[in-house]
Structure 1
Amino acid sequence: MTYEEAVAYIHSISKFGVKLGLENMKKLLEMMGHPDRSYKIVHVAGTNGKGSTCAMIDSVLRAAGYKTGLYTSPYLEVFNERIRINGENIPDSDLVKMVDYVKPLAEQMVKEGYNHPTEFEFITAIALKYYEIQKVDIAVLEVGLGGRFDATNSVERTDVSVITTIDMDHMKTLGNTIEKIAFEKAGIIRNNGLVVTYPQKDEAMAVIEERCRELSARLIKVDMASLRVKKATHAGEVFDYKHLKNVEIGLVGMHQVLNAATAIEALWTLEKNGVSISEKALLEGLKCARWPGRLEVLREHPFIVIDGAHNPQGASTLAKNIKDLFIYKRLILVIGVLKDKDVDGILNNIAPFADVVIATRPDSYRALDADVLAEMIKMRVKCQVTAIEDIGQAVRRAIELAGKDDMVLFCGSLYLIGHVREILRFDIIPTL
């Protein structure tokens, strides 16, 4: 099997659909010999900020000398990004070997009367086994969707459960209220476990607190009173948190300060389970942490910025950061969204800030057509709005329109941002 065939096979598994429940995944882990028992686990759920928080935790652990596995989704440019060891993507050859290993087990499950693993279950199984084979010390696992029935929640135990900001997203699957969504996210909390949470809305926090009481889990909240931001620019932030002074992060946006504080609390909590992290490693790891596609500045003069905001909360946060952290003359917005998202909520938060808008179509079967999106945008703004279905053409047109004092902002879906990032980095920016 070649690398291309392996990735094609993984994607072909989507034909089996998505099924709620952990029975299948637990059976697969049993057949693999419970690989998750061989390393410590940090488990991260939430609506927004999961990836950034995972990246910061992973970076600090590496700075402290631990061998780490990082499992995230979706990927931006290459599939291998989803499974990393010490910051490096799984090599093509190793991915092929892992597909060859898990595929017969999935086929055996079907013979025994189980459902075929879903695509996400299959990838999760690869990651968990690969981390065992590579003898990682700690795996940082990002929840794919929700938490309670997510494939990552099939692991037997976690050393710390982390819940980032909770808001409205995936309502058809998780529920149409903050309380229902919070209940699903809180599904990663374990009996007598350690839980760290980002500052939540009252409704979400009440659900998390109740779940912790039910399971006798210890809850640690980010202490907003001890957080002081000292500097915030389009290059990153500097802040104090509790006894830590002048903490630097390169991830851009005020929300990343809160994600960093959440990561800090998770790392301190992890120390209760035998993980040693010096203050030097903590500060170094946070400073070095990177998470592409999240308020990422690819170029200045003009600013070229990409952000994976794909729900109303993310779009609201993006709009505030663009206003507070950047100085520009005109905002040229290129946006593409998935049709199963809260498109109205996204547009209401970001479209009014634009001087020119180009609607395009993300590379996904779930994408909203560019002309449909353009009509929705025209209902909200008085500026020039154009529909360009092809992403490459949309990127080039936006760059052509931008003066050196302007900003070109690409947002709306990670499926769009990954494609845009690749076009910009390898085709357009090198020639500017």
Structure 2
Amino acid sequence: MPDYNGSVDYLKKAALRGSRLGLERISELMERLDNPQNRVKTIHVAGTNGKGSFGAMLTSILTEAGYTVGGFSSPALTGITDSFRINCREITKKDFAEVMTEIIPHCEAMEDKPTEFEVLTAAAYLLFFRKGCNISVVECGMGGDTDSTNVLCFPLLSVITNVQKDHTAFLGETIEEIARHKAGIIKCSRPVIYGGTDLTVSDLILREAKKKCSEFYSTDYFRVSDTSSDLSGTEFSFDGMGDFRMQLLGKYQVMNAATVLTAVEVLRGQRINIPDEAVRRGLEKARWHGRFEVVRREPYVIYDGAHNPDGIRSAAESIELYFRGSDIVLLIGVMADKEYGLYTDMLGSRIRKAFTVTPDNPRALASDKLAEVFRAADIDAEPFDDLAKGVCSAYEYAKANGLPLIALGSLYMYGDFMDALNNITE
């Protein structure tokens, strides 16, 4: 009998093994499972930012086109099953328990036992095969070449959304070093798309693609026009494909959508049937939590999982787009390994008051240390070690002053943030 709680407990045990990049353990585990990752057509997605939104849009489009589509992303926002989706719907606890019941004995039989993310990766690939998925969209956890999802041999398409500085302790201090890791998902004779605008990175990825005889495509943002956006949604045109509307918010989402539409064109070239109407419906129906997501409207409360300089910069641009001329109330919690000292320059001019919190994660930066950064920039900041109390105080301040509350930082705190917000009674 599949046991969900036992599966969760096993993952907690695996988490104690830490984060260890490399393909040795995942390769052995997948071999034991008869390599299900090579039995479903997969779109493999790497990149510093935008992976989740890209995956949500493309999965929605492929679902509308009539395929059975698996989706794997990390971190989970509300619970373990949130990392796994079939046709845009979170899997059940029963589904998760069944696949884990099959995987755990193989993990335990290994001398060098897999990490938590390696177990989750194996669960995703096995689940998609067991559920009869025609296509899956799988997101790298970190980097590319040594990420456990890279155990794939023949991806339908590889996508690198962009490359920015992040996870430098694991991936290197320079953009070039990080780009080389992400370019490691390129496979021989399989097409690759680069969605970023950095020409140095583009040249590096192009060289890697040529080495592997892989067709290289890049997103042409000059094809985007007639963009308009407010808090009800976003409209834009993409040359050669028509007009589109999305409910996803954030100035950056049009850029993500342009890469998705480029992927649609490449997939059509791979004989994947994607009707025009499926593209339109899929983009309009796409949903993704934690990316400039409006979670309340009186006052506006928005959560954006911006957690690195590029993400914070994009969030600042979105704040300017939707709240021109208005101050904001900021709630923020980040990991200690992020370049948080840069955040005040990007956000400072708009902040009436900052509420800093400590996410429930061993890598989290203490709220008082983060508050000191804002105070040093002459921004009123109040720290809270208790995230729920911080959310409550920030919300009450925003409501009393008629200002929007913008929550930024680690996606690891999304679930706790939403729980705290939902416990606030009007």
Instruction: Report the TM range for the smaller structure's normalisation.
Output: over 0.9
1:367 is matched by which residue type in structure 2? Answer: A
- 1:393 to 2:389 alignment: yes
TM-score when normalising by structure 1: 0.95
Q: Distance in 1 between matches of 2:235 and 2:326?
A: 26
- More displaced, 402-411 or 66-75? 402-411
* Cα distance in 2, alignment partners of residues 217 and 347 from structure 1: 42
The one of 254, 261, 264 aligned to 2:261: 264
Q: Which residue of 1 aligns with 2:84?
A: 83
In structure 2, C-alpha distance between the alignment counterparts of 1:287 and 1:247, rounded to whole Å: 8
Q: Which piece of structure 1 moves more, 50-59 or 204-213?
A: 204-213
Q: Which of residues 193, 197, 202 in structure 2 aligns to 1:200?
A: 197
Retained in 1: the 8 A contact 2:40–2:129? yes
Matched, 1:7 2:4: no
Pick closer, same or farther for the CA change 1:301–1:129 going to 2, 3 Å. same
Q: Which residue of 2 aligns with 1:252?
A: 249
Q: What is the SS of the residue equivalent to 2:423?
A: helix
SS in 2 for 1:276: coil
- 1:230-269 Cα offsets, whole Å, 9 max, x none, are 3122232211112222211111122111100101111221
Alignment match of 1:355 (pick from 349, 352, 376) = 352
The count of corresponding residues between Structure 1 and Structure 2 is: 424
Q: Is the counterpart of residue 316 in structure 1 residue 316 in structure 2?
A: no
How far apart, CA to CA, are the structure 2 residues paired with 1:89 and 1:79? 10
Q: Percent identity?
A: 33
**Separation of aligned partners in 2, 1:157 and 1:7:** 31
> Does residue 152 of structure 1 match 2:149?
yes
Q: Offset of 1:29 from its aligned partner?
A: 1.1
Q: TM-score, normalised by structure 2?
A: 0.96
Point out where structure 1 has 5 or more consecutive residues left out of the alignment.
none
Name structure 2 gaps, 5 residues minimum: none
The alpha-carbon deviation at position 78 of structure 1 amounts to: 1.3
337-346 or 302-311, larger mean C-alpha shift? 337-346
**Matched residue SS, 2:405:** strand
Question: How far is the alpha carbon of 1:131 from its aligned partner?
Answer: 0.8
Would you say the 8 A contact 2:227–2:236 is kept in 1?
Answer: yes
Match of 2:102 in 1: 101
Alignment of structure 1 residues 187-226 onto 2, 5 Å: 187-226=184-223
Instruction: Say what the alpha-carbon RMSD is for the aligned residues.
Output: 1.5
Give the 3-state SS of the residue equivalent to 1:274 in structure 2: coil
**Residues 419 and 347 from structure 1, CA distance in 2 versus in 1: closer, same or farther, beyond 3 angstroms?**
farther
Go from structure 1 to structure 2 and tell me whether the alpha carbon gap of 1:328 and 1:2 turns closer, same or farther (over 3 Å shift). Answer: farther
Alignment partners' CA distance in 1, 2:22 and 2:214? 23
- Looking at structure 2, the residues matched to 5 and 272 of structure 1 have their Cα atoms a distance apart, in angstroms, of 44
Of stretches 306-315 and 243-252 in structure 1, the one that deviates more from structure 2 is 243-252
Letter of the 2:388 counterpart:
G
How far is 1:57 from its partner? Answer: 0.5
Partners of 1:2 and 1:392 in 2: how far apart?
A: 31
Deviates more, 1:222-231 or 1:307-316: 222-231
Q: Distance in 1 between matches of 2:151 and 2:14?
A: 19
Flag the 1:268–1:205 CA change in 2: closer, same or farther, 3 A.
same
**Aligned partner letter, 1:422:** D
Correspondence list, 1:132-147, <5 A: 132-147=129-144
Once the 2 structures are TM-superposed, how far is the Cα of residue 330 of structure 1 from its aligned partner? 3.0
CA contact (8 A) 2:237 2:244 kept: yes
**How far apart in 2 are the matches of 1:75 and 1:351?**
30
Aligned-partner Cα distance in 2 for 1:235–1:347? 28
Give the CA deviation at 1:96.
1.6
SS in structure 2 opposite 1:378?
Answer: helix
Moved more, 308-317 or 20-29: 20-29
Q: Does 1:325 align with 2:322?
A: yes
